Homo-oligomer: A and B are copies of this chain.
Amino acid sequence: MSGFLFTTRLAADASNGNARLGWFTTPHGAVETPAFMPVGTHASVRGLAMHELRDAGANMVLANAYHLYLRPGDEMVRALGGVHAFARWDGPMLTDSGGYQVFSLSRYRTVTEDGVEFRSKLDGARHHYTPERVMQIERNIGADVIMQLDELIAGGSSYDASRSAMERSLRWLERCRVEFDRLSRDGRAPVRALTVPAGAPPLATDDIARDIVAPPQALFPIVQGGTWADLRRASIDGILQAGDWVGVAVGGLSVGEAKSAMYETFEVCSPLLPADKPRYLMGVGFPDDLLEAVARGMDLFDCVAPTRMGRHGTVFTPDGKTQIQKSSNRTDRRPLTESCPCPACTQYDRAYLRHLMVTEEPLGPRLLALHNLTFLLELMRETRDALRDGRFGSWSAEWLARYRHGR
């Protein structure tokens, strides 16, 4: 796929186990893996500016196709120059299909073999989400990596329900692939005439209408199957038979299952996934889970939990999670953590951060979300350093012992 390349810098070996050091090149630059990708649902990571993400060490950012499809609209994003120009992020980007949001946020959704019919939670308007439609939307938005539409089911679903959703996801993947290839070959549909409101400068709509060539993008399939090993194997089988992918995602985890079951699922999937393609573990973002996943061969990660937790005062430290609002922080002038380079840790102290949260000052959620993000990005940086030095096994064991048992 033009513009994409994955190089395994250090493959699995004795000192690093199944952990890999990689280099994922996209049309908007490269990402060294393992890497954590901040989630910018509406093409904005809640409360944070793009320069802060960059300073914190982020290289690749997510946005959500469902949210951008509803507002400002995928055609509007395209007319405004695509998601990179829109959000002013010139590095690699990925859009999730929005399958998860359709299943969890919409009202009155109806799932059929054709796709999902739902009403928007914003205005009740009816929308039809099919694999083909999702490809059109994600190709309009224009992120580097785009995700297939898959069928999401609740954590803890039965074997039969998991198999049925996994099999439908495979059929939808095939439809995504066909539509993705058609758009690559025939170009995107012209943008409908967008009404330029009075007082606004003209949009180059004629140019946009002519500009139907789809940008270079990579479509990632998603491995499903819950925590059933045979379903995961069947899912990977189907995916690898369906095409030659730039990368493969593993989805449907961290939805309430035991951590041991999640880790076992990594072990089931990893050996079956091609060694020369990046592996994106969707929705996993706790520090311990990241290290366990890296140890089992995963490369890319995303999760909204770290920023959401930060906004509510739960913060990562090397000694585990803590709550900034707890009373022992009232008089504590020490930094939140000694080692973190984020503004919350370098510019302020615990007593003041607690005060911001207690008085509901918006600087508090902002600083603590940035802290948690920085913490994960630093953890991935340290992970890559340890891999390079061939000491990932011992380093991560030590890191996890401290994180899990505190001081």
Contacts and interface: CB of A to CB of B under 8 A. Distances in A.
A362 B42 contact: no
Contact of A42 (B76, B79, B326, B355): B355
Interface in A33-57: 42-51
A363 interface: yes
A76 B49 CA distance: 33
Contacts of A333: 80-81, 201
Given A88-B348, A359-B71, A328 B366 contact: no
B76 A331 contact: yes
A200 B331 contact: yes
A256 interface: no
A351 B72 contact: yes
Given A203-B331, A362-B46, A352 B86 contact: yes
Interface residues of A, number: 52
Nearest to A196: B331
Contact of A331 (B67, B197, B334, B343): B197
B47 A363 contact: yes
Contact of A358 (B71, B361, B367): B71
A350 to B, nearest CB: 9
A365 interface: yes
A46 B363 contact: yes
A14 interface: no
A198 interface: yes
Contacts of A203: 331
A176 B72 CA distance: 56
A330 interface: yes
Counting from the closest, the 4 A-B pairs by CB-CB distance are A199-B328, A47-B362, A200-B328, A197-B328
20 contacts: A42-B356, A43-B352, A45-B363, A46-B361, A47-B363, A49-B347, A49-B363, A67-B359, A76-B330, A80-B331, A80-B333, A80-B352, A81-B333, A87-B352, A88-B348, A199-B326, A199-B328, A200-B330, A201-B333, A362-B365
